[in-house]
A and B are shown apart, each in its own frame.
Chain A
Amino acid sequence: MTAQQPSIATNPAPGAKRAKPSRRPLIIALVLLSTFVVLLPAVLGGYWMRVLTVVFIFAIMAESVNIIAGYAGYNALGNAVFFGVGAYIVGVTTTQLNVPFWAALLLAGLGCVAYSVVIGYPILRLSGRYFLMATLGLLEITREVVLNLDITGGAQGIATPVMDVSPEFANRLFYYLALAVLATVVWVTWWIQRHNMGLALRAIKFDEEAARTMGINSTWYKTQAWAVSAFFTGLAGGVYAYFLAYIEPASVFEIATSVRMYIEHVFGGAGTVFGPVLGALILELLSEFVWARFTEIHYLILGSLVILITLFVPKGLISYIRKIPVHRLDAWVIGLFRRDSAGREESED
Chain B
Amino acid sequence: MGDNILEARGVSISFGGVQAVKDVSFEVPRGVIFGIIGPNGAGKTTLLNGISGLVPLSAGHIEFEGQRISGTKKPHQIARLGIGRTFQVARPFDGLTVRENIAVGAVFAGKVGGRKHAEVWSLVDEVMEFVGNADKQDSLVPDLPVAQRKRVELGRAVAIRPKLLLLDEVMAGLNQREVESVMEMVRRIRDRGTTIILIEHIMKAVMGLCDTVMVLRSGQRICVGTPSMVCADDQVIAAYLGDRYAKRKADIGELEQGHAQS
Contact = CB atoms under 8 A, between A and B. Distances in A.
Given A16-B121, A212-B79, 14 more contacts: A2-B108, A2-B114, A3-B114, A5-B114, A9-B96, A13-B122, A18-B138, A196-B114, A202-B96, A210-B92, A213-B85, A214-B109, A215-B160, A271-B95
Contacts of A123: none
Interface string B187-206: 00000000000000000000
Given A7-B121, A196-B114, A212 B103 contact: no
A214 B160 contact: yes
Contacts of B130: none
B136 to A, nearest CB: 13
B52 to A, nearest CB: 5
Interface in A282-323: none
Interface in A189-221: 196, 199-200, 202-203, 205-207, 209-218
A99 interface: no
B252 interface: no
B61 interface: no
A203 B100 CA distance: 9
28 contacts: A3-B113, A5-B115, A5-B117, A7-B107, A7-B117, A9-B97, A9-B100, A9-B103, A12-B121, A13-B118, A13-B121, A14-B118, A18-B138, A202-B93, A205-B95, A206-B96, A209-B54, A210-B93, A212-B75, A213-B75, A213-B84, A213-B85, A214-B76, A214-B104, A215-B79, A215-B108, A216-B104, A271-B95
Contacts of B84: 213-214
Interface of A: 2-3, 5-14, 16, 18, 196, 199-200, 202-203, 205-207, 209-218, 271
B93 A206 contact: yes
Given A196-B114, A206-B96, A218 B76 contact: yes
Nearest to A6: B117
Contact of A199 (B54, B80, B104, B138): B104
B133 to A, nearest CB: 14
B127 interface: no
A271 to B, nearest CB: 7
A3 B76 CA distance: 15
Nearest to B117: A7
Contacts of B79: 212-215
A68 B197 CA distance: 36
Contacts of B120: 7
Contacts of A16: 121, 125
A3 B112 CA distance: 8
A48 to B, nearest CB: 38
Interface residue SS majority, chain A: loop
A218 B96 CA distance: 17
Contacts of A203: 93, 96, 104
B95 A202 contact: yes
Contacts of A9: 96-97, 99-100, 103
A212 to B, nearest CB: 4
B244 interface: no
A165 to B, nearest CB: 47
Nearest to A3: B113
A11 to B, nearest CB: 8
Given A203-B93, A216-B108, A14 B121 contact: yes
B116 interface: yes
Interface pairs A-B: 8 shortest CB-CB = A215-B109, A13-B121, A9-B100, A215-B108, A215-B79, A212-B75, A206-B93, A7-B117
A209 to B, nearest CB: 6
Interface string B56-67: 000000000000
A206 B95 contact: yes
B83 to A, nearest CB: 8
B104 A211 contact: yes
A5 B116 contact: yes
A199 B75 contact: no
Contact of B100 (A2, A199, A217, A271): A199
A210 B84 CA distance: 10
B94 interface: yes
A215 B115 CA distance: 12
A12 B125 CA distance: 10
B156 interface: yes
A217 B103 contact: no
Contacts of B109: 214-215
B115 to A, nearest CB: 8
